[in-house]
Amino acid sequence: MPDDRSIVHPFWLRITHWLNAIAVILLVTSGWRIYNATEFFGFGIPRSMTLGGWLAGALQWHFAAMWLLFFNGVLYLLINAFTGRLRRQFFPIRPRAVLQEMGAALRGRLAHDDLRHYNSVQRLAYVFVMVDSVVLVLSGLVLWKSVQFPLLRELLGGYEGARRIHFFAMAGMCAFILVHVVMVVLVPRTLIAMLRGR
């Protein structure tokens, strides 16, 4: 029987991570196709990078992936909260430590010996993506069911405000994914741990 100390990521974490990754890729690429229907910022996303083929198809992909992200994300947060992992792994976030570790990372000197523990930069990034996901869900609700959520719509600056918040939250998610993938390339054993658990 394997030593529990060798386990970096438990099975539930790996499953929810990969399901969230699939959902986010589907949401972003179908969302880009939906955005292209209006191009309200004056530019378009190359069609080859979008999903759905046409507006109705993109909306169907978007709604399907939305439910996957919602239920899987809620499950992820609940398990983290009830096991105490949320507090242990993601807090505290100390600004001085974030700046020091970010500087070390930019110089290629960030130590990442124990994959079971997150450094301050990782903590900040993962908390950001959790909050960003909530913003995406709330602004997405306004875009999907604007009449049913009048208070939320007003808090987000109306339908147009919610649309812009949704777009910028999506851009934040894409920035996180880009940094996340770069870090995996720099420390490839993190990918192995997320696939095998140890």
Distance CA 96, CA 177 (A): 24
The 3-state DSSP composition of the chain as helix, strand, coil percent (nearest 5) reads 75, 0, 25
Q: Is the pLDDT of residue 165 over 90?
A: yes
- Average pLDDT for residues 104-108, to the nearest whole number? 76
pLDDT in tens, 28-71: 999 999 999 999 999 999 999 999 989 999 999 999 999 999 99
Query: Looking at residues 2-23, what average pLDDT do you find?
Result: 83
Q: What percent of the chain has pLDDT over 70?
A: 95
The stretch 106-131 carries a mean pLDDT of 81
Q: For residue 112, name the pLDDT band (cuts at 50, 70, 90).
A: low
Q: How confident is the model at residue 1 (pLDDT cuts 50, 70, 90)?
A: very low
pLDDT at 4: 53
Question: DSSP string spanning 5-68?
Answer: GG-SS-HHHHHHHHHHHHHHHHHHHHHHHHHHTT-TTS----GGG-SSSSHHHHHHHHHHHHHH
In percent, the amount of the chain with pLDDT more than 90 equals 66
Residue-level pLDDT at 80: 92
Between residues 182 and 158, which one has the greater pLDDT?
158
């208070």: which residue's tokens? 151
Of 24-28, 163-167, 190-194, least confident by mean pLDDT is: 190-194
3-state SS assignment for residue 102: helix
| pLDDT tens track for 148-159 | 999 999 999 999
Q: pLDDT-based confidence at 2, cuts 50/70/90?
A: very low
Confidence category of residue 107, pLDDT binned at 50, 70, 90:
confident
pLDDT band at 176 (very low <50, low <70, confident <90, very high): very high
- Domains in the chain and their CATH numbers? 4-196 (1.20.950.20)
